[in-house]
Amino acid sequence: MECRWSCRRKLSRALASVRHKTSSRTSITNLTEEEHELLETNQKIPCLRWNPNKAFQFEPSDIEIQSKKCFATTSDGAGTLFVGKFQRTSYVSVKVFDLDSYRDISFFIEEVLLMRQFSHPNLLQCFGSFVRGSELMVVLPLVVYGSVKDLLSARFQYGFSESMCAAVLSDVLSALEYLHSRGYIHRSLKASHLLISGNGKVILTGLGDAFNCIKGGEMRVKAYELPRMAKCSFPWLSPEVLAQNLQGYCKKSDIYSVGILACELANGNPPFSGVAFTELLLMKLTGTFNPRLHDSTTTAEFTYELETTTHDAVPADSGVFESMQPLAGQCQSREQSAAKRTFSDDFHEFVAVCVQRDIIVRPTASQLKKHSFFNVNRKYMNSFKEALSLVQPLVSLTHENDTSLLESISPDLEEQISEYPEWDFD
């Protein structure tokens, strides 16, 4: 018992010692009429806003969990997410960890410290954290539209339009450019780690697997460790990360994941989704399969891929991880959908340069932001925000009066958020 309370006291002191770093934030200007209507609608949801120029302070008693039922769990089952209220006025999300279930809590501390350390409009921020009983509670902004994966599953099963992909990838690259400039490799880039705020901004999460290249005041050129949750990110990880050899990997391994993410956004599911993990590993290490966009120009290649990866029975695996086998009917529907669309050559080239096996010629995040793919789609990127107006947010108001919000929204809240079970912060 003394050891347990000592551990909690150390955790509380470590979390309390972290201070916010300040930086400038961008403002949203030149919005269309539709975007103003979208913002006006979502601003009725009084979510607590992040202010990087002001230290956020609160007492544990200021946070009240509003829903008895959690509306999401992390991919590894380590934490659960609840909708909470700050001082009964503003919505927040509360990520809860049961400390009694874990011997080593250093992973949770590191994740919280990273979120408190970074300050960027496209990275998930942390308002603070505290220990209540045997639970660690991390207070985060409530991102009303959930994750990009939720949006794909609910409304865009066969993928986003090219302009919507460009809008998402532009925000992702801005977040990666910030992380890489501070010596971090994300190592867990995928659609479930991209959250959508009320104003249509894409927010990158999943810092639990981020790797710090700076050690002892020196920048390490290479990394060699496999991410803690690698089994959940196999399709997105680069070949050099999975190789686990003496050559190691660098920040450009995240760029490979950007290419896989682009395919996931455009196709509706990531490449290698119908391949057993052991076969996936061999395909990546030998380069026998190159991830690509599925449209009318690649229909023949897509059909061949289905024939080689889809079987009546689940393919044999070594038992290391389970395979992700798609249903044959779903694959046929995706093939039909792909045959009706054609992506631009710039988009195909964007994916190709991202998934190059040669790390030397693979571009950096800063270089990739200047790709012609974004120049062509820049004036159409507002279509992503317009699409959100057709989507039901995680929290919606039925009353104009915010003072009665606490009483009016509680009965319906659990039914609304139960449709979004994979809000992923790991």
Which residue, among 209, 199, 152, 216, has the nearest Cα to 179 in the 3D structure?
A: 209
At 22, list the tokens.
Answer: 């300040």
Sign of CA dihedral 176, 177, 178, 183: positive
Residue 122's pLDDT is 94
Residue 33's pLDDT is 55
At 129, list the tokens.
Answer: 């954290």
Amino acid at 202: V
Contact indicator for 13, 363 with CB cutoff of 8 Å: no
Residue 325's pLDDT is 46
Which residue, among 285, 281, 237, has the nearest Cα to 261 in the 3D structure?
A: 237
Contact indicator for 265, 152 with CB cutoff of 8 Å: yes
Q: With left for phi above 0 and alpha for psi between -120 and 50, is residue 399 left, alpha or beta? A: beta
Residue 343's pLDDT is 94
CA-CA distance, 149 to 424, in Å (whole number)?
A: 9
With residues binned 3-state (H G I as helix, E B as strand, rest as coil), the percentages for the chain, rounded to 5, are: 45, 10, 45
Which residue, among 314, 211, 336, has the nearest Cα to 268 in the 3D structure?
A: 336
Give the residue carrying structure tokens 């959690």: 70
Q: Please report the domains of the chain, with CATH numbers, ordered by start residue.
A: 42-144+393-416 (3.30.200.20), 148-388 (1.10.510.10)
Which residue, among 233, 255, 263, has the nearest Cα to 160 in the 3D structure?
A: 263
Prediction pTM value: 0.76
Please state whether beta strands 79-86 and 128-132 pair in parallel, antiparallel, or not at all (unpaired).
Answer: unpaired
Residue 412's pLDDT is 37
At 60, list the tokens.
Answer: 């544990």
At 366, list the tokens.
Answer: 């800063």
What is the chain's pLDDT, residue by residue, as a tens digit (426 residues)? 544 445 455 445 544 443 333 332 223 334 455 545 544 554 455 555 555 545 566 677 777 776 655 666 665 566 778 888 887 667 888 888 888 777 777 777 888 888 888 989 999 988 888 888 888 888 888 888 888 998 898 888 899 999 999 999 999 999 999 999 999 999 999 999 999 988 888 999 989 889 999 988 888 989 999 998 888 889 999 999 999 999 999 999 999 999 999 999 999 999 988 788 888 889 999 988 889 999 988 876 665 455 554 443 333 333 333 444 444 455 667 777 788 889 999 999 999 999 999 999 999 999 999 999 999 888 887 778 778 877 777 655 333 333 222 232 333 333 433 343 444 555
Contact indicator for 200, 163 with CB cutoff of 8 Å: no
CA-CA distance, 125 to 63, in Å (whole number)?
A: 17
Residues with Cβ within 8 Å of 18's Cβ and at least 6 positions away in sequence, in order, are: 112, 113, 116, 117
